[in-house]
């Protein structure tokens, strides 16, 4: 498409705007200190991935000599320059937030970082012993020389650069590097009369640095960190073995080109220039950090036991009143479709469904897509158990799930050893759909049970990400799930789908039809409304279609957590479109698409965001949800669109402002808190009902 900068925001800068909104949660004094520390760690982790993937990709494009501007009119060089400027401001805010706000606030609350000069006798004694026994024997310095081969500095590893005085009669200073990775971890707990005291390992190493360089003059030392390009792709048509091919990609990623160097702000110009020469990178890729490097290492500290005054009150996933823990999951799904909203409602019923299927002698087959899973996944264990029990089990394991490739390779091998038929997806496409199909023999014949979701089968992130689970015994949804697995596991085309829609062959087309329907009704003078909740909105063709709908008078409410390239509120283009983004204690991850359709409301859940990669280069699903579950989804999306506490509104100039500060926004609505309290109230109401009457349910098998 032609570049139209007046219509689109740049996706990379939009992503940085999202990370800024996360950073604002870290800076917000209304949040407790440990909650703020968590958000600060998240911003650092986000930036790591951004540089590894997005900046790394842009640098490759620029090196290839490509100058084609994006939809916002920015060439690769212009984007990289804008990113550099934006990120430097962001890391300055990160450092200021930690040093001048969070570290003092934590110390006041009893969590204190001890400086080397403030150590007491007992603490000195402990550190001397730990250094002698567990640090000095492990860490070995490596001498560095200009022009010599650079030692293997691992991606995202922390290192200490040491500058030594020149040899007698020599002209040039000498350098050495020490890796900071060692058994004690980043922070060392210290004995303290009250609270929790700690010291970063780099401070301990600096204090004892002379032990490695006896007789030499240490001029300076500085912690630094290397980020390498992770935008490394594999030519599937050249890889005879996908498992070994992915393993080689992981190895290549560890030592790929340097895209960023972070170094302590105290480092001299000489040290900065040396490390850039050593890593053969442009000095523009060097970032001076006036504070601790790798702030994501503070995430475990944000979860420290105790210190409740420094934390948000814990929200626990609630058991859904729809589900009776004493009845089999199959019986309950047979009675009614079940819709769960995680993490407000527990993910346990999804795990239960698969575990019960593994043990149930009436279950003949289980088929499931695994994109990301937890490290100790009970679902993986259940699938292995089912295969070992003689059931037909098929697992589509997506090896190309970025940064989870190694874990997925491990799971794939374990499942294969248990007798699971492991499939690695469709060549050239990532399989990102979230679906599980269970085939069961019942008195009336073969019955299919399905779970469709917006999130991964990951019991850990299901406590942190907001996602939808939909479980059904609907014949059409079950038949569609069978057709889906036949298509992605075999050679057949995904034909004959009656209810669900599949990318890359159907979701985009169906979305256009639905938008066109709202346009037509609006042009006829009828009410027309679209509400969309997703993580990212990038696809230019669909943005253009939303602009067309806006010009036709369709009201459009977008709740987009992260990247949004659509420019809202522009006269004669998008004046009927509003865009909000929620950043709260849970990561908004559900995709919900709503269309008014003249009162015959249609609502869908999906695994797909509105991005070209999701709609054109991935295997995704979009599922209609009807009746009571559909009405509940409509309430969910309406409530999120009405949020005024944790919501930000995108203005036509690209700025995000807190929604609650806008004129006319009076009522305070915290949508995440609302759904948590609703889930708790439902449990209390259900308990009261159980005390007074038995819950009716549809007889199993009817």
Q: CA 372, CA 383: separation in Å to the nearest integer?
A: 15
Alpha helix segments (H runs only) across 444-503:
475-489
Q: Do 292 and 115 contact (CB within 8 A), yes or no?
A: no
Strand partners, 658: 648
Q: CA 555, CA 549: separation in Å to the nearest integer?
A: 8
Q: Do 651 and 659 contact (CB within 8 A), yes or no?
A: no
The 10 Å Cβ neighbour count of residue 424 is 19
Q: CA 475, CA 337: separation in Å to the nearest integer?
A: 12
What is the H or E stretch that residue 441 is in? strand 435-442
DSSP label of 578? E
Catalytic residue among 208, 326, 410, 432: 432
Q: Is 110 left (phi over 0), alpha (psi -120 to 50) or beta?
A: left
Q: CA 227, CA 390: separation in Å to the nearest integer?
A: 46
Strand partners, 248: none
Q: CA 9, CA 72: separation in Å to the nearest integer?
A: 5
Is 432 one of the annotated active-site residues of the chain? yes
CA dist 354 → 43, 142, 371, 487, 636 (Å): 35, 51, 16, 22, 26
CA dist 164 → 313, 510, 603, 689 (Å): 50, 66, 66, 75
Q: Do 492 and 509 contact (CB within 8 A), yes or no?
A: no
Q: CA 609, CA 614: separation in Å to the nearest integer?
A: 6
Residues with a known catalytic role: 432
């Amino acid at each position: 498409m032609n570049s139209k900068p007046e219509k689109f925001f740049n996706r990379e800068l939009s992503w940085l705007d999202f990370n800024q909104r996360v950073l604002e949660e870290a800076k917000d004094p209304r949040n407790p200190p440990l909650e703020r520390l968590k958000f600060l760690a998240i911003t650092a982790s986000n930036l790591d991935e951004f540089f590894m993937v997005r900046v790394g990709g842009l640098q490759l494009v620029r090196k290839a000599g490509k100058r084609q501007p994006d939809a916002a009119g920015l060439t690769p060089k212009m984007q990289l320059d804008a990113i550099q400027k934006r990120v430097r401001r962001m890391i300055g805010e990160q450092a200021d937030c930690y040093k001048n706000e969070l570290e003092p606030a934590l110390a006041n609350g009893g969590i204190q970082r001890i400086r080397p000069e403030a150590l007491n006798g007992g603490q000195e004694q402990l550190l001397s012993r730990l250094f002698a026994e567990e640090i000095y024997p492990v860490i070995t310095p490596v001498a560095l020389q200009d022009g010599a081969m650079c030692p293997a500095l691992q991606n995202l590893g922390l290192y200490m650069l040491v500058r030594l005085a020149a040899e007698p009669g020599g002209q040039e200073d000498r350098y050495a590097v020490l890796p900071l990775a060692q058994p004690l971890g980043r922070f060392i707990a210290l004995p303290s009369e009250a609270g929790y005291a700690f010291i970063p390992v780099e401070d301990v190493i600096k204090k004892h640095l002379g032990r490695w360089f006896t007789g030499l003059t240490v001029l300076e030392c500085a912690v630094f960190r290397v980020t390498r390009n992770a935008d490394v792709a594999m030519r599937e048509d050249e890889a005879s073995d996908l498992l070994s091919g992915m393993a080689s990609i992981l190895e290549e990623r560890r030592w790929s080109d340097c895209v960023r160097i972070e170094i302590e702000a105290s480092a001299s110009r000489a040290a900065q220039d040396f490390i850039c020469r050593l890593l053969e990178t442009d000095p523009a890729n060097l970032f001076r950090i006036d504070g601790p490097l790798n702030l994501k290492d503070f995430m475990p500290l944000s979860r420290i036991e105790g210190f409740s005054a420094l934390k948000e009150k814990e929200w626990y996933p609630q058991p859904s009143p729809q589900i009776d823990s004493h009845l089999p999951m199959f019986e309950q799904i047979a009675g009614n479709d079940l819709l769960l909203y995680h993490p407000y409602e527990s993910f346990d019923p999804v795990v239960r469904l698969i575990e019960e299927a593994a043990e149930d002698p009436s279950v003949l087959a289980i088929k499931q897509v695994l994109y990301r899973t937890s490290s100790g996944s009970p679902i993986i264990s259940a699938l292995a158990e089912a295969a070992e029990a003689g059931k037909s089990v098929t697992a589509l394991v997506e090896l190309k799930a970025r940064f989870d490739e190694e874990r997925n390779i491990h799971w794939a091998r374990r499942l294969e050893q248990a007798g699971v038929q492991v499939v690695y997806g469709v060549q050239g496409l990532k399989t990102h759909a979230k679906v599980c199909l269970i085939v069961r023999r019942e008195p009336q014949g073969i019955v299919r049970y399905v779970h469709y979701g917006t999130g991964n089968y990951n019991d850990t992130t299901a406590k942190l990400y907001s996602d939808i689970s939909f479980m059904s015994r609907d014949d059409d949804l079950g038949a569609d799930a069978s057709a889906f697995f036949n298509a992605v596991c075999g050679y057949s085309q995904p034909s004959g789908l009656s209810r669900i829609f599949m990318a890359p062959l159907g979701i985009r087309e169906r979305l256009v039809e639905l938008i066109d329907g709202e346009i037509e009704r609006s042009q006829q003078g009828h009410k027309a409304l679209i509400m969309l909740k997703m993580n990212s909105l990038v696809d230019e063709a669909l943005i253009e279609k939303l602009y067309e709908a806006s010009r036709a008078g369709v009201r459009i409410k977008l709740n987009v957590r992260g990247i949004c390239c659509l420019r809202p509120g522009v006269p004669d283009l998008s004046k009927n479109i509003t865009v909000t983004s929620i950043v709260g204690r849970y990561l908004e991850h559900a995709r919900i698409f709503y269309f008014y359709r003249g009162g015959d409301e249609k609502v869908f859940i999906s695994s797909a965001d509105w991005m070209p990669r999701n709609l054109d280069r991935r295997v995704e699903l979009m599922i209609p949800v009807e009746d009571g579950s559909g009405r509940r989804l409509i309430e969910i999306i309406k409530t999120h669109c009405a949020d005024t506490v944790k919501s930000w509104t995108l203005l036509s100039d690209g700025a995000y402002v807190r929604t609650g500060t806008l004129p006319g926004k009076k009522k305070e609505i915290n949508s995440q808190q609302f759904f948590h309290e609703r889930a708790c109230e439902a449990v209390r109401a259900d308990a009261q009902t159980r005390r007074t009457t038995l819950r009716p349910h549809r007889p199993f098998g009817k």
